[in-house]
């Protein structure tokens, strides 16, 4: 359905009359029932509503993988999973008592599905660090980022809150409420907020909040509300792109995918490096997570997959490869590729056995790329995120190549995760075909001509020639890439 059609359907009578009542409009026109409904927001906040309507926040309770995991988790825990999933994926429905386990989401009215306008803009306090400890106000006042809301002619109460101000670090605590998740066994299965708090991005002024990255500000002043006397302001986007994309028909999926791709393309800096030893060479990658603001990947890393596809050639002959995953094949299935560099979490139960569903986990192990710990170039920690990985991974030599290529791949949900849910009968098999392998950055190529960045090997004193299209400093300190020791590839 086209965006215009969505908007036309969304602008209900309550929203229109509330915004076009002229100077006699009284504050508080919208009832609580109307405030709960995002369609009531569309008349005054058309742009913000359109953004949100095509966002993963609006999609959060429709996501078929989430629903499948919740259904399986409820069954396998005999209902003990309870509101664990829907507390973040359908938080208004939980607070309104409309669901206790998310198994009845199809029967709920639309205004109780997803993460709605009312839910975020009613938050008055954050009482914890994970699993949605957000407290909602009951005063009918919608909070926002402007310290001087329009004084009259508005259909609801309005107030400033630092929790919704993308320029304030406090706003991160609100996002972190659902982007740090600890399961019933105490395992931190999602740690995005904590990763950000431990990074350089948490610093005031020079850092970056969740909203600054995922809700970018407009480049020109505009009216953010269609009410009498509304001033021109810098608004911010409500599309909130990250990594996940809609897997079933949904508004603005092309825009959503383009914004996800833009984030991926700016997250990493990479370099291909080769040191020559006679007729042989030693091949390595240097990778730095420079812009994610948290680990890479992040979120439900046990389900995400990112890997590095490397090919080396002499003329037209391929002499080495790693990370080659045929289309429609799970990225973890290449058992004949001992050098594969695959980024993900692994989870384990109380006995140390590897498990694959979050409700079973008692601990985890990760080899994700950490976020930058400091922006101070004089600090010894500045280059801690320069991670180096050899191919083969033991550092042994390959025939000296004259061309090497790199492409970084990303799967928001690994195909083997989907296959497992299909096998258990919890996920429609048709969903699998909608999952697409994303790329991270453009392909990179090393040749003697493009290898213009160099550093001296500490052991041999000989030059190592690197190719990069980014600002990565290959001559700076480098550290071994994170590894896992007790899980399958």
Q: Which pLDDT tens digit goes with each residue over 212-247?
A: 999 999 999 999 998 888 999 999 999 999 999 999
Q: What is the per-residue pLDDT across 105-124, written as a single tens digit (0 to 9) for each? A: 999 999 999 999 999 999 99
- The pLDDT, as a whole number, for residue 19 is 63
Strand bridging mode 280-289 / 317-322 = unpaired
Q: What percent of the chain has pLDDT over 70?
A: 94
3-state SS, 118-162, equals: HHHHCEEEECCCCCCCEEECCCCEEEECCCCCCCCCCCCEEEECH
Task: Tell me what the mean pLDDT of segment 49-61 comes to.
Answer: 97
- Say whether the peptide bond before residue 392 is cis (omega within 30 degrees of 0): yes
Tens of pLDDT along 71-113?
999 999 999 999 999 999 999 999 999 999 999 999 999 999 9
Q: pLDDT grade, residue 443 (50/70/90)?
A: very high
Q: 48 falls in which pLDDT band (50, 70, 90)?
A: very high
pTM: 0.92
Q: pLDDT band for 27, please (50, 70, 90 cuts).
A: low
Both tokens of 72, joined, read 């399986």
Bridge-partner residues for 363, per DSSP? Answer: 348
Does position 163 have pLDDT exceeding 60, yes or no? Answer: yes
pLDDT value, residue 22: 37
pLDDT average, residue stretch 33-45: 95
pLDDT value of position 81: 97
Distance CA 256, CA 51 (A): 10
List phi, psi (to 5°) of 76: -75, -20
Question: What was the pLDDT predicted at 10?
Answer: 38
Predicted local confidence at residue 266, as pLDDT = 96
Sorted by sequence, the CB contacts under 8 Å of residue 94 that are 6+ apart come out as 83, 86, 87, 100
* 32-51 average pLDDT score: 95
Measured torsion, CA atoms of residues 70, 72, 73, 75, in degrees rounded to the nearest 10: 120
Residue 423 tokens read as 């096998």
Mean pLDDT, residues 274-281:
97
Question: Has residue 16 got a pLDDT over 70?
Answer: no
Is the pLDDT score of 397 beyond 90? yes
Q: b/e string for 6-36 if b means 16 or more Cβ within 10 A?
A: bbeebbbebbeebbeeeeebebebbeeebbb
Position 5 pLDDT exceeds 50: no
For the stretch 298-316, pLDDT in tens is 999 999 999 999 999 999 9
pLDDT band at 428 (very low <50, low <70, confident <90, very high): very high
So what's the pLDDT on residue 3? 40
């Amino acid at each position: 359905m086209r965006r215009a059609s969505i908007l036309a359907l969304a602008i209900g009578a309550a929203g229109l009359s509330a915004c076009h009542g002229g100077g006699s409009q009284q504050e508080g026109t919208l009832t609580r029932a109307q405030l709960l409904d995002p369609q009531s927001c569309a008349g005054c906040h058309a742009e913000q509503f359109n953004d949100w309507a095509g966002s993963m926040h609006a999609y959060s309770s429709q996501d078929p993988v989430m629903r499948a995991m919740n259904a399986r988790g409820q069954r396998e825990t005999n209902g003990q999973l309870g509101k664990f999933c829907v507390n973040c994926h359908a938080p208004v429905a939980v607070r309104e008592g409309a669901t206790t386990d998310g198994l009845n989401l199809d029967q709920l009215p639309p205004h109780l599905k997803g993460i709605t306008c009312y839910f975020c803009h009613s938050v008055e306090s954050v009482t914890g660090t994970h699993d949605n400890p957000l407290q909602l106000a009951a005063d009918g006042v919608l909070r926002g980022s402007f310290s001087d809301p329009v004084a009259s002619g508005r259909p609801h109460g309005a107030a400033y809150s630092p929790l919704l101000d993308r320029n304030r670090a406090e706003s991160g605590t609100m996002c972190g409420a659902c982007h740090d998740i600890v399961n019933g066994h105490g395992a931190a299965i999602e740690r995005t907020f904590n990763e950000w708090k431990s990074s350089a991005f948490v610093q005031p002024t020079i850092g970056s909040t969740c909203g600054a990255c995922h809700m970018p500000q407009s480049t020109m002043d505009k009216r953010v509300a269609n009410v009498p006397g509304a001033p021109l302001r810098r608004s911010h986007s409500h599309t909130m792109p990250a990594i996940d994309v809609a897997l079933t028909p949904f508004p603005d999926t092309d825009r959503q995918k383009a914004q996800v791709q833009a984030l991926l393309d700016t997250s990493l800096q990479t370099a291909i490096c080769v040191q020559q030893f006679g007729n042989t060479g030693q091949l390595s990658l240097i990778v730095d997570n420079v812009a994610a603001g948290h680990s890479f990947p992040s979120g439900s890393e046990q389900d995400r997959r990112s890997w590095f596809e490397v090919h080396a050639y002499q003329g037209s002959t391929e002499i080495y490869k790693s990370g080659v995953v045929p289309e429609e094949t799970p990225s973890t299935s290449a058992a004949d590729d001992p050098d594969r560099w695959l980024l993900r979490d692994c989870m384990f139960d109380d006995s140390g056995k590897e498990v694959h569903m979050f409700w079973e986990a008692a601990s985890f192990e990760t080899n994700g790329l950490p976020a930058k710990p400091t922006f101070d170039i004089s600090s010894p920690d500045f280059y801690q995120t320069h991670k180096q990985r050899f191919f083969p991974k033991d550092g042994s030599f390959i025939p000296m190549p004259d061309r090497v290529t790199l492409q970084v791949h990303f799967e928001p949900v690994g195909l083997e995760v989907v296959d497992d849910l299909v096998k258990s009968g919890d996920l429609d098999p048709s969903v699998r075909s909608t999952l697409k392998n994303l790329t991270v950055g453009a392909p990179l190529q090393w040749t003697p001509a493009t290898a213009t960045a160099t550093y001296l090997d500490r052991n041999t004193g000989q030059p190592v020639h690197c190719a990069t299209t980014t600002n990565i400093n290959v001559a700076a300190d480098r550290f071994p890439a994170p590894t896992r020791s007790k899980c399958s590839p």
